[in-house]
Structure 1
Amino acid sequence: MAESDSDKLEPPAYRMSRARIAVLLALAALPVLLTALAQPFLPDIVPLHYGTNGADRWGSKAELFVAADIIAVIELALVGLYTVVERQRETGREDWIVVNGPVTAMFPTFAILYAIMACVQAVYLFAAFQLTEFTLPVDVGKLYVYVLLGLALLAMLAPAFYMLITGKGLSLVNFHPGTSDLEKRTGADKQQARAIGGLLLFLAGFVLVEFLLLLK
């Protein structure tokens, strides 16, 4: 008996990229890997914290794993979140996620953030070799805060201006994608988009003020 077309399994419209997940996993493990590779070459006592005048706290080189492990755990948790979202998109269960918004930018955002964190850890290890007259220009902890605040600011400003100017972009923040015919006829979708854009711009202002205060 011939199998009907309706019984045939159609390939999913979207396929989860396992290569991207592998890249994120590799980047997440990089801070720990760099720290492990540097251990045999480091002195037993290394600088662990830096101020504007150089190292202000010293300790065992094994303590360098603390920061690396914290970074790795957070990044692996985000990889898990990314995998869940990608799996939902692959199986078509995407009514609860933002289909055409930030979800599509998760991979480049995470990849760039992970690369920055790996570079920061590399600088930290480089300084642990206690090179003559070597000092870090900023506190590493503050550097993390600067990066996170900068990303948060960009994540709010970009959609805010887009929604205010175009009156579009509800899919960026709406957990129920799509616009009804009534909303289109009355222009309610554009009003909602501009209202949300204004709210995002207002929130971005608070983040910007905090960012400027930290830079002082």
Structure 2
Amino acid sequence: MDLSAKENNRRVAAILYEAAEILNARGERFKPQAYAKAARAVEALREDIAEVSGPGELEKIPEVGTHIAAKICEIVGTGGLSYLEKLRKELPEGVQELSGIEGIGLKRVKVLVKEFNVRNVRDLEAAAAAGRVRDLPGFGEQNERRILVTIRGSSAPGRGPFSATSCRLRRRSSLHWPATPQRAGSALPGLSGGGRSRLVISISS
């Protein structure tokens, strides 16, 4: 498999992983696992996902059912997923930015909101600087240090204000690319080569 095919598969998987993460934070029972399994299956493909997205082809991939196959077709065809955009919009304000910090996911954001009423990056920085984050379940001293390094490093002179994107975080779910219309079976947008439940997270005190 050439590099462009591998990148195509990785980017499709990244969108599925992000959907799985948000669904998991919402408290959904089965969908998170389904999306995560499909993402792993796409990552493991030897073929370019853009070349096997024809009618009935995606369902031949292990762990990819009809529902998620339709989502993958949309990703291959447009470079984005409207369902994921909907999920992102349902996240409380500030949650997506917080979950983009290295060492934190949506589940950990939920803990921070519950314990310290953290609403934004500056609230988190203050809590971590005071040594309060390390004692929370699932964090520890190492993650607390990583959080501070990420936030403060991104705010160094010449780097501009903090954003999850500016930190260049190494999280699969943070990958996005332009939603440029694209014919299924060709290279994914932005790449070269041939190939309703209530939110569990709440920011109220």
TM-score, normalised on structure 1? 0.24
The structure that is helix-richer by fraction is 1
The structure with the largest strand share of the pair is 1
Task: Please identify the structure whose Cα radius of gyration is greater.
Answer: 1
